[in-house]
A and B are shown apart, each in its own frame.
Chain A
Amino acid sequence: MAKNIYEKIWEAHVVHEEPGQDCILYIDRHYVHEVTSPQAFEGLRLAARKVRRPNLTFATMDHNIPTTDRSKPIEDPMSAQQVETLKANCAEFGIACFDMKDRRNGIVHVIGPELGLTQPGQTIVCGDSHTSTHGAFGALAFGIGTSEVEHVLATQTLLQKKSKTMEIRVDGVLPLGITAKDIILAIIGKIGTAGGTGYVIEYTGEAIRSLSMEGRMTVCNMSIEAGARAGLISPDEKTCEYLKDREYLRDQDHEALAKAWRAWASDPGCTYDRTVVLNAAGIEPQVTWGTSPGMVASITGKTPVLAQIADTNTRLAAEKALQYMDLAEGTPIQQIPINKMFFGSCTNGRIEDLRAAAKVVKGYKVSPKIEQALVVPGSHQVKMQAEKEGLDTVFKEAGFEWREAGCSMCLAMNADILQPGDRCASTSNRNFEGRQGKGGRTHLVSPAMAVAAAIKGHFVDIRGWKFNG
C-alpha cells in the first residue's frame, strides 16, 4: 500500500504498542539547549537515572548568549548560570556540548542540519517548538516540554499518539521576489494559527520542490505557528546534496546513504486526512500587522477594518491586536514606519537568507529613522561563511550591526531587546505581544523585505526594488 512519509517514519520507530495506550516511539536525535533542560537533568539526578544514549544527544547554547564580544563573560548572572548549568550537566552525563566558543555553536535548529546530524527518516525532538524545522529533511521532528525532555534522556523514547496527516500543496511557480517566508505566512493566513492542530503536515507541490533546503527549513520552521505537531517535506536530490560531506557524515558512503534517504519519500498515490491547496502565483510579499502570525496581509494590503469582520471573537482579537500594535484600521501596510530591524533566528538566519538580504542592501544606507538594525547569523559557521563572501562588509557599510550568532532578538532573552513602543521589522517567527521586549511591536517579514524596510524606514514592496549590481 502506498504510504506517506509520516506513516513510514512512524512505523519504523514504534518500539511498543498496546491497545488503549500511547505508543512508545524511538527517538534518533535529541537536541538540548540551556533554557528547557536544567529541570530535566535535575529530575534525572533526583531519580538516580542516567542518560540512556548520550551519543544520540547533542547540546548547544543559543537562547541566552550575547551576540557581542564572546571573549567577555555573560553579564546577566541568571543567563550565565543557565549556560554554566548546561555545560556542567553535559559533562556529568557525557553529552556533546557545543558551547559558546565552539566553532559548531549556533541556534539549535541551524546547527543540526549544518553538521549533518539531522537526516531523512529520523525522529528528532528538542525542548523547543521550532524543532519542526528539521522536517525540511524528511525527518519527523517536533518540540517537547521539559518533562518529555527528561523522558527522552532517560529512555531514548517518547510516549506518542499517532497524528492525523495534512498535505499542504503549493502548486505552480513562485513569482519573482516571493520567498519561503511568504509561502508559510500565506499558509498560516489561510488555515489559521490552529489550522494544523492535531496534524502532521507534509508540504508538497512544485513551489515547495523548487525551494532550496534553506527555504524548506523556513517553511517547516513555522509549521508550529499553524499549530501543527510537525511539518515535513519528502527528501529528494536537493536533500541528499545538502547533506553530502557534512561534519557528522564524512567518511560515510554517501551513495548508499542517499539511496536509503530517498526511500523515505512519500509513495505516489499515498493519502492524507486532509489536503489544502494554494497556488504560488497568488502569493504576494507578506507582512504581519497583529500579534499572532495569522494576522497577516500582503504588502499591497491594509490592516483590517473591524466592522468587516463577521465573527465576534475574531473581531475582538483583531481590535486588541491593533490597539497593542498602535495601528489604525485600514492602514496601508506600506505606510507603516519602523524604527528597528532584526535579521536572524532559526527561521531566516541562514547563509542563503544573508545572501538574499545583502543583494537588496548593496549600494544603500539604513534610513536615519532607524535606531537599530541588527544582523545576527544563525550559527558561527554561517557567520564565517558570510564573512568569507564579504557579506558582512555589505551590511556594515550600509549601517547594519554585524553580530555573533544566537537567538538574539527573536525572543530577547539576552541583551538584544526592543523598548516599549519600538516597531520592528523582523525575520523571526513570532509577533506575540512583548515577544521581542515588553511593549515592542513586531512585524514578521522575509529577509529581503526586512532590510528593504530598514533602508526606507517603512515597509516597501520588494518586487519594485532597484537592485545595485
Chain B
Amino acid sequence: MAERQGEEGGLEIDRAIHEPARLLITAHLYVVESADYVFLMQNTGLTWGNLSSHLSKLEAAGYVEITKEFVERKPHTMVRLTDEGRAAFDAYRRQMKALFDDLPGGSMSSPTRR
C-alpha cells in the first residue's frame, strides 16, 4: 500500500497503476470481466514471472482479485479488477487526461493543425 500513492509536485499519482506493465495489465482487465494468465501474457507481452509479480502488487493494493481453480487437474488462474481497482483506473485516466490537457499547446483530443 505504501507504493500506492506518490506525490510529485503536488500531483498525486497512483503508482500501483502508473507503472507501465501494471498500466497494461489494468487496461486489459478493465475492458474484460475476467481473464486468465495466458490471456494477460499474450496481450501484454509479459512473462509469467513478471506478470505474477505485478499482479501481486495490484492484489496487495486491492485492485485485482485472483481466483485459482483446477480445470481437468490443471491449475487455472482467473484475474479480475475489483470495484476498487476499476474506480482507481477511472480516476487515473481522468487524472492523466486532465494533466496532459492542461499542458500549454492545447487538448490531446483536439490536435493543433497548421
Please indicate whether A and B come from the same complex rather than being unrelated chains. no
**Residues of B at under 8 Å CB distance from A?**
none
